[in-house]
Structure 1
């Protein structure tokens, strides 16, 4: 079959401002197995430009595909764009079958198939094996009902879902289709040739707001040695300089992570690695942090989420403020940059909470911060807690963690955004932070901090302008449940669990 993969353009300001683009790992991960099965696969990455819908349709028409697959990493906020693309492609050639995958369609499959006739089939959960089976079934004319992990309309127009697929037990059994991209076009951190990769999938922790934990069903990891070997090959053959880990928590297993660090040191390639992890893992690994740096780790995003104990308890974050502070200190000691996430927009927050959070951030002394707004997803336990909160933003393109979407009891949107913007400036522009940007002893780290500061400044002004002139918050919006539907946390795990004896399933428990 001829198959076209489409990466829709993201509408977020943070995606539009930088000149750098990262490749769509999810689509490439599906493309590799499809190519190995003999299908003719091509990629339309509409982030470049970004492409208009007419340009996307034109690119698709050149390939004359039997099947189009649409997916995006920011699947909730990208859904309106994905739907518009699907409708335009279907209008141009009704014979093309359109498949839609990602976190959002995995859980909202009933609504998506009801509201958008352009989508023929939805993939629920991981896509590598499911797409292989689906493409084979479509090519041979077998019934769709034989493919686990999909949803579709039958001949009578009824919406059906097959049994969940089983989560992939051996992640190394499926390869990424790197040949679908030209590596020269993808970069990060100011022009460094870069890719997105995954060492592991899922997370063993129980944060109740996380929209990813249940999607991956269970934490698993790749072979540390094979993963390091793949990174080294990308450096030697494609000139890749930077690896952006898409893992929720790659360090969950100290044993597996240490094996990866040692394998990277053995490969001896000068790549830089950035990603996200938990503060308690950093503190746990205090004795091997020198290996982190030697293996190429240069920045960790640490999900601290909040500094208020009641809020941390509410979202079941785990960890402790003392651990957060110690993790940042340890990272700095080993010349690894720290980026602290800070989530606002909880219903009971007052100015006193914001002020206390600001002071706590200053005491943590991170190199960078990322302010986010609480954004509940229907399949998470936190959604049930927040189900009666009032929605003030009904444009789901804004449900990207960078826009306030829920009403607060004590703070107006104007007050909250003013607080966030002032705190961002105060934390990033304090003398201690500026001195690091100007005089950090590591030249590469100076470069990365300066790039992040330049991009952050541009995004900062655009976000203020958008808030003042392009946003209209509802005063009497629907409740969260009325807007999205009933809580779905009983269906949080999107796939059947793999066999427990497979490597990586029990090491983090």
Structure 2
């Protein structure tokens, strides 16, 4: 039934600094994850990774026309920063192929489905939440003349109004749906300095309530894959496709000690030479002090730790549920087991001063992480953090730059140029301190040394790019708008479009693939 129904998965170009600077490029796991179930159901599926080169809008439209799909499914891991690009591409694709059905999924459209469908008539449907089951049911409904409105977890436009079906239940067993690895050429994708690499997920969700993060609301519950099956899959990727580096996309892969230990032991038993990198919480590292030797034996070489702040009041305000003592101990334990610690530190949570940044530098030096990455607090509307900073002034109105590497909110009494000096100066001070240089160039562990050198090389390029963009690009400027006013302006523009759609519903028509299948008409 589905063999002649072609679906094109489109990974759009991304403007974030982290996407454009490194020579390495990782495959789009989110699209591959929905591709596997679609292939197994009999659909002809193709991936267009326009972020790889990256491709121009004109070239993307040309390739979509050449593929002649019935459905285009689009999404990007950098969800909010890629949103404006996706709206532009959808409009161009719809103009070239009016009958193609365009489906948009990811974190941003999940939270902003109403605004998305109102802003962009070219987008026909939005998948809300995790997509494997929803995208499959939606595609089947489109090609079999079923009712799209009966599919949980979708939003659509009908008769000048925007509607959403009931929320889909979380996928209870993550092993029910496989990743469509056959959609990529493994030789194209690399990480860690040219080593063949992929992105994977052992688990989804996070049990913590950090105010600046929206992942809990998106995934809704923490779940994990079968540890043995997951280990076998990673071993298969290494043996059959030459994969050397595994990059975990999990928010918290170590949440269950028992499940994580079972995975580590299973991967060690597979006896494959893999390098594992990911993110976790310092508390889990301290908890696992007695099994960290298994981390290293399984191939874990670096964990990113979200330090965020040293200030107890800030940590309490953002609901981090962590302490500086725990952070320090986690870094010490990782180093003792030959695992690189990368500390992320966030500026802009509050009205910080020169004294606060000086204290931050001193505390980071005491933490003594192997690597450091400073980020800017970014107020996405679906987070609790947004409400707490609603009256702060917006200094970056281009949401494509809300990528945590550009300042978004003004710091009272601190002009953007001085904040940049602090951020870049702290990074230089941490990365060029004698201890870090000794580990980078003289560590006895070749894998540890490679990890340090690679990050220094890439970090230098990103550092220069950030400074260059500030000097010659879209630097932060006073907008005169509070965050609440900025968000209100965006909502009002969307409401105006919605009223126009309601007055003239005939101007917005779904393609024939979907028309008449929303409410059974």
Q: Could you tell me which residue of structure 2 aligns to residue 392 of structure 1? A: 395
Q: Could you tell me which residue of structure 1 aligns to residue 76 of structure 2? A: 72
For 2:490 and 2:276, the matched residues in 1 are separated by 37
Q: Could you tell me which residue of structure 2 aligns to residue 93 of structure 1? A: 97
| Residues 31-70 of structure 1 mapped to structure 2, 5 A cutoff | 31-70=35-74
Q: Could you tell me which residue of structure 2 aligns to residue 493 of structure 1? A: none
Structure 1's unaligned 5+ residue stretches are 489-509
| SS class of match (1:375) | coil
C-alpha displacement of 1:291: 0.5
Q: Could you tell me which residue of structure 1 aligns to residue 359 of structure 2? A: 356
Q: 1:258 aligns with which of 255, 261, 268?
A: 261
For 1:46 and 1:55, the matched residues in 2 are separated by 9
Q: Could you tell me which residue of structure 2 aligns to residue 342 of structure 1? A: 345
For 2:133 and 2:50, the matched residues in 1 are separated by 25
C-alpha displacement of 1:485: 4.6
Structure 2's unaligned 5+ residue stretches are 492-521
| Residues 24-173 of structure 1 mapped to structure 2, 5 A cutoff | 24-154=28-158, 156-173=159-176
Q: Could you tell me which residue of structure 1 aligns to residue 215 of structure 2? A: 212
C-alpha displacement of 1:463: 0.8
For 2:242 and 2:415, the matched residues in 1 are separated by 48
Q: How many residues end up aligned between the 2 structures?
A: 487
For 2:154 and 2:31, the matched residues in 1 are separated by 17
**Bigger shift: 436-445 or 284-293?**
436-445
Asked if residue 467 in structure 1 is aligned to residue 474 in structure 2, the reply is: no
For 2:157 and 2:297, the matched residues in 1 are separated by 52
The RMSD of aligned alpha carbons is 1.3
CA shift digits 1:273-331 (9 cap, x unpaired): 00000001000000000000001111000011111111111101011100100000000
1:312 touches 1:318 (CA, 8 Å); kept in 2? Answer: yes
2:393 touches 2:478 (CA, 8 Å); kept in 1? Answer: no
For 2:343 and 2:191, the matched residues in 1 are separated by 19
C-alpha displacement of 1:157: 2.3
Q: 1:189 aligns with which of 169, 184, 192?
A: 192
CA shift digits 1:239-291 (9 cap, x unpaired): 00000000000000111111111111111101010000000100000000000
Change in Cα spacing, 1:8 to 1:432, as seen in structure 2 (3 Å) is same
For 1:484 and 1:76, the matched residues in 2 are separated by 14
| Residues 3-18 of structure 1 mapped to structure 2, 5 A cutoff | 3-18=7-22
Asked if residue 367 in structure 1 is aligned to residue 370 in structure 2, the reply is: yes
1:387 touches 1:487 (CA, 8 Å); kept in 2? Answer: no
| SS class of match (2:82) | helix
| SS class of match (1:165) | coil
1:199 touches 1:227 (CA, 8 Å); kept in 2? Answer: yes
For 1:184 and 1:89, the matched residues in 2 are separated by 29
| TM-score scaled by length of structure 2 | 0.92
For 1:346 and 1:257, the matched residues in 2 are separated by 32
2:206 touches 2:216 (CA, 8 Å); kept in 1? Answer: yes
Runs ≥4 residues deviating over 3 A:
485-488
For 2:107 and 2:487, the matched residues in 1 are separated by 15
| SS class of match (2:146) | coil
For 1:283 and 1:347, the matched residues in 2 are separated by 29
| Residues 431-470 of structure 1 mapped to structure 2, 5 A cutoff | 431-470=434-473
| SS class of match (1:41) | strand
C-alpha displacement of 1:448: 2.0
Asked if residue 294 in structure 1 is aligned to residue 291 in structure 2, the reply is: no
| SS class of match (2:33) | helix
2:470 touches 2:476 (CA, 8 Å); kept in 1? Answer: no
Change in Cα spacing, 1:462 to 1:486, as seen in structure 2 (3 Å) is closer
1:379 touches 1:487 (CA, 8 Å); kept in 2? Answer: no
Change in Cα spacing, 1:117 to 1:79, as seen in structure 2 (3 Å) is same
C-alpha displacement of 1:477: 3.0
C-alpha displacement of 1:133: 0.5
Q: 2:384 aligns with which of 348, 356, 381?
A: 381
Q: Could you tell me which residue of structure 2 aligns to residue 309 of structure 1? A: 312
| SS class of match (1:3) | strand
Q: Could you tell me which residue of structure 2 aligns to residue 200 of structure 1? A: 203
Q: Could you tell me which residue of structure 1 aligns to residue 272 of structure 2? A: 269
1:308 touches 1:353 (CA, 8 Å); kept in 2? Answer: no
For 1:17 and 1:473, the matched residues in 2 are separated by 21
1:7 touches 1:46 (CA, 8 Å); kept in 2? Answer: yes
C-alpha displacement of 1:398: 0.6
For 2:489 and 2:280, the matched residues in 1 are separated by 31
| TM-score scaled by length of structure 1 | 0.94
Asked if residue 327 in structure 1 is aligned to residue 335 in structure 2, the reply is: no
**Bigger shift: 479-488 or 139-148?**
479-488
| SS class of match (2:175) | helix
